[in-house]
Amino acid sequence: MNRGSRAELVVQPARFPHITRDWTTAGMMRDVLIALVPVVVGAVWLRGWRALAMLSVSVAICIAGEALACILSRKPLTIGDGSAAVTGILMALTLPTGTSLPALAAGALFAILVAKAFFGGLGKNLLNPALAGRLLVLLLWPLPPTALSETPEWITLFLRGSADPATAIGSVPALLVLTGAIYLYLSGVITLTAPLAFFATSAGLTWVFGGESLLMGSPVTFLADGGVLLIGFFLVSDTVTMPATRAGRLLFGAGAGLLGGALLLWAGTPSGLYEAILVLNACSPLIERVTGPRPSGIGRRDYAKP
């Protein structure tokens, strides 16, 4: 090295320094896909060929939609980064087995072309594409009302999941979801601020108001549902559609849990947890603006104004 030269040291902080991380989009999406493997296996194991067909159609259409969006916008193909596949898997996992495959395909196209590409692509979308596609499916092709069977004991949900056809195919054994969530956390892909706030508020509402009388609900059974854990660890934790600040993520998770729990308990909306996340997605820019640092000399109330 020449005497006049200067070496620049770049330090990349990591939760576990011995784990080498690939912080590219493709690397992070690969980690999410790996974390989803136990969930996908559990869904196919519980629901059979129907779950496999739903997952295959959703992923294939999302990838095709991603390619189409790149061609129409004259941008380089991005199907190799894995984000479209992640969207397809998550959207399928949030829908019940009674969902028609044509409706699923339409929802997948909407998720990629409208909820994602219309806003500028990955990293710029306001709403979670998987949940936006799911909402379109249920709005245009509503499923007939189906009564849920009696809720199993928490240990049954945790180890065996729910095979009730009225529930989403992602309602797999909670142990499988936790396996994937732990991998995501150790890999540094997700933080726990928003998911834990979501679990605390939604389970708290269930405990206080979910039973036959006050404080007679079962938060343990609620949190032992793999579908609930999937929502918290894989949907609430989406870094693109939630605030970047720690305080903002806390408010985001708590708000999603409170609104979702309220819809679940009092509005008779079994999918209220999903819709609540979309509402908080839309509020995310405002939450980030309110909780983020502000220029010196400007009051928080004035800074929060659009």
Residue 213 lies in a domain: yes
Higher pLDDT, 169 or 14: 169
Q: If pLDDT is split at 50, 70 and 90, which confidence band does 6 have?
A: very low
Residue 273 lies in a domain: yes
3-state class of 195 per DSSP?
Answer: helix
Domain residue limits at 250? 25-291
Nearest to 104 by CA among 143, 70, 68, 78: 143
C-alpha to C-alpha distance for 134 and 274, rounded to whole angstroms = 9
Task: Give the CATH number of the domain where residue 273 resides.
Answer: 1.10.3430
Q: What is the pLDDT of residues 236-245, one digit of tens each?
A: 999 999 999 9
Residue 135 lies in a domain: yes
Given a cut of 90, whether residue 41 has pLDDT beyond it is yes
Task: Report the predicted TM-score, pTM, of the whole model to 2 decimal places.
Answer: 0.86
Residue 122 lies in a domain: yes
Contact between residue 140 and residue 103 where contact means Cβ atoms under 8 Å apart: yes
Residue 272 lies in a domain: yes
Residue 186 lies in a domain: yes
Residue 306 lies in a domain: no
Q: If pLDDT is split at 50, 70 and 90, which confidence band does 42 have?
A: very high
Q: If pLDDT is split at 50, 70 and 90, which confidence band does 294 have?
A: low
Q: What is the pLDDT of residues 95-149, one digit of tens each?
A: 999 899 999 999 999 999 999 999 988 889 999 999 999 999 999 888 765 544 5
Q: Domain count for the chain, please give it.
A: 1
**DSSP tag of 143:** P
Residues of the chain with pLDDT > 90, as a percent, come to: 67
C-alpha to C-alpha distance for 214 and 212, rounded to whole angstroms = 7
Contact between residue 235 and residue 90 where contact means Cβ atoms under 8 Å apart: yes
Contact between residue 187 and residue 21 where contact means Cβ atoms under 8 Å apart: yes
Residue 14 lies in a domain: no
Amino acid, res. 276: A
The DSSP string of 146-161 is: -PPPPPPPHHHHHHH-
